[in-house]
Amino acid sequence: MNLQTFNDILLKLSIPILILITSIILGTIASSLIKKILTEIELEKITKEKTSLNIPINFISPLVKYTIYLIGLLLAVYFTGFLKIFLIIILVLVSSITLISLSAYLIMKITNLNFKIKDKVKLKDKIRIKNITGRVIKRNIFETTIKNSKNEKVTIPNKLLKN
């Protein structure tokens, strides 16, 4: 690696680093300044009286700070030339978090459905679903197994039991 290449790399990295440092400083100053101004004009009191909304200063001030941080980060990544890669990584992270949250929500919904059905149908209860009649011999989250009058085991999805 020659000196010219090293200087080029240093120059390419110095601009994003300066942008990050500047955005951190500006974000901190803007946050403090906004907090002082909003406290001085008593924004919380005014908004409660005029609109009955409660807009806390402790929400607005950090919001401004982190918005400036985010803009600085995006600008710094843009100047490194890795904006597309960075945005793809952010997209993958957001998608992963959304999918994990959705799966947790679905598990909660299934469990809730199971509790509702559990109250209605217990082991050894005699039930009739459509044209099938029998005694409940096994239950789990997704299905219920009954034994009919011919001693056959019939598995019924719990979705059919919710009505």
Burial class (CB in 10 A: 0-12, 13-18, 19+), 4: exposed
Question: pLDDT of 104-157, one tens digit each?
Answer: 777 777 666 656 665 677 788 888 888 888 998 988 777 888 999 899 999 888
Cut 0.85: pTM above it: no
Residue 163 pLDDT greater than 60, yes or no: no
CA distance 159 to 7: 67
Angle between helices 43-51 and 3-40 (to 10 degrees): 60
List the domain boundaries for the chain. 1-81, 83-163
pLDDT for res 111: 67
Token pair of 17, please?
Answer: 């680093």
The phi and psi torsions of 159 (rounded to 5 degrees) equal -60, -35
pLDDT at 33: 92
Fold for domain 83-163? SH3 type barrels. (2.30.30)
Would you state the pLDDT for residue 45?
75
